[in-house]
Amino acid sequence: MIIPQLKVGANVNIVFENEINKSNAHFMKALVYDIDDRKIIISQTSPALNRNFLNRRIMVSFLARMERRNLRFGFPAKLIDLVYDYKIASEKIVEALVLQQYDESEQIDFRTFFRIKLPLQSDINLFFKEEKVNLIDISLAGAKFICPKDYLLRPADQVKFKLLIGPSVFDLETKVREVQTQDDVSGNHNLQYVSVEFQYNNKQLEASLGKAILAIERQLLSEGKI
């Protein structure tokens, strides 16, 4: 396979290398402003990165159309500079991040850890003690959802769920990674945000969930939402 090269104007996702194998990895979006050999200038991310993140190793990924499919490619890089007054078209001044690529691009699969925000109508549903929780996002490695505080979930708890993927039902063992009450973020104080890490050894579950996530990703791509 001919590996496509990153181009100016492309959308990229970046993630710190030390977070890739964590279920709560933060994938940040950016736009490529310029490429000079292996020095790449991208837009500031959201949330914004400051100089405290300089010299951190990251993985940069991008989508390319290959063989009638959207495939993801990526390469390792280092964040080497933050420019506060980078000039783009029409003399506009913006913040920009400077990356140093230090290896070639290759095809990668971030679906294991790349979280997909679920649309309003989805074939993926999560149940705790017969009660459906409000899924926010999901990956092959974990999920984040909203549920009532009286579920009494705490970090490090081992918790069982039912995962529904279309007509299929799977028993799912998880470990609670983070619990955030809405007191901290505003809103209904009777609710909480919960992040869980999946702990399963079920090839059928993995295949079904991967297929469902890929279908959602393709839908969002076709709608221009990612």
Residues 6+ apart with CB under 8 A from 75: 6, 59, 60, 101, 103, 104, 105, 106
CATH entry, 11-107, from 3.40.50, 3.90.1690, 3.40.140, 2.30.110: 2.30.110
Distance set, CA 66 to CA 9, 70, 114 (Å): 18, 6, 20
Average pLDDT over every residue of 12-41: 84
Encoding tokens for residue 199? 């702990």
Average pLDDT over every residue of 204-212: 87
What is the percent of the chain where pLDDT is above 90?
A: 42
The residues pairing with 58 across neighbouring beta strands, listed in sequence order, are: 16, 77
Average pLDDT over every residue of 129-134: 92
Q: Cα angle vertex 169, ends 166, 175, to 5°?
A: 115
The one-letter amino acid at 59: M
Q: How far apart are CA 13 and CA 74, in angstroms?
A: 9
Encoding tokens for residue 36? 């000079």
Q: What pTM value is reported for the model?
A: 0.54
Check for a shared fold between 11-107 and 116-222.
no
Cis peptide before 4 (omega within 30 of 0): no
Summarised one tens digit per residue, pLDDT across range 96-109 is 999 999 988 888 76
Average pLDDT over every residue of 24-47: 89
Class of domain 116-222: mainly beta
pLDDT category of residue 160 using cuts at 50, 70 and 90: very high
Summarised one tens digit per residue, pLDDT across range 165-178 is 999 999 999 999 88
pLDDT given for residue 43 in this prediction = 96
Mean pLDDT, the chain, as a whole number? Answer: 85
pLDDT category of residue 198 using cuts at 50, 70 and 90: confident
Q: How far apart are CA 20 and CA 35, in angstroms?
A: 25
pLDDT given for residue 121 in this prediction = 80
pLDDT given for residue 117 in this prediction = 82
Domain boundaries, the chain: 11-107, 116-222
Check whether 73 has a pLDDT greater than 60: yes
pLDDT category of residue 22 using cuts at 50, 70 and 90: low
